[in-house]
Amino acid sequence: MPLCENLISMSRNSPKEKYDIRRKRVRATLIEFGINGELVKSIDREHPVGVLERIIEATKKRQPEDKANYFLKGLNYSRVKHGRLPLFHSLKEE
DSSP for 8-31, please give it. HHHHHHHHHHHHHHHHHHHHHHHH
CA distance 79 to 50: 14
Specify the DSSP class assigned to residue 66.
Answer: S
CB 59 within 8 A of CB 74: yes
What is the average pLDDT across 1-25? Answer: 63
What pLDDT digit, counting tens, does each position of 33-87 carry? 999 999 999 999 999 999 999 999 999 999 999 999 999 999 999 888 888 887 7
CA angle 55, 94, 76 (to 5 degrees): 25
pTM: 0.73
